[in-house]
Amino acid sequence: MSALPHFVAAGEALTDLLRSGPQGWTSQVGGSTWNVARVVARLGMPSAFAGAVSRDVFGAALAAANEAAGLDRRFLQHWTARRCWP
């Protein structure tokens, strides 16, 4: 993957938590900007999502979905929270 993508969407990728019953929740990857990059890739244009995802189970799901969508992964940053206090 040496050529740059023709389309790059920069913004947010997030996880929606959906109620699946009285005691249950399911997670669904999403975010409007990430969804746009995914749809453009599905239409056949080399695409990427530029943004950051966490280093937890939700970020792992977003990174896996990014790969499955065929998005250029060079623009995806894995973010680790840093403490802002001593």
Which amino acid is it at 56? D
Rounded to 5 degrees, what angle do the CA atoms 65, 50, 19 make? 45
Output the tens digit of pLDDT for each of the chain's 86 residues: 579 999 999 998 999 999 999 999 999 999 999 999 999 999 999 999 999 898 889 999 999 999 999 999 999 988 766 655 55
Name the pTM for this structure.
Answer: 0.81
Distance CA(49)–CA(57), nearest Å, equals 19
Is residue 46 within 8 A of residue 72, CB to CB? The reply is: yes
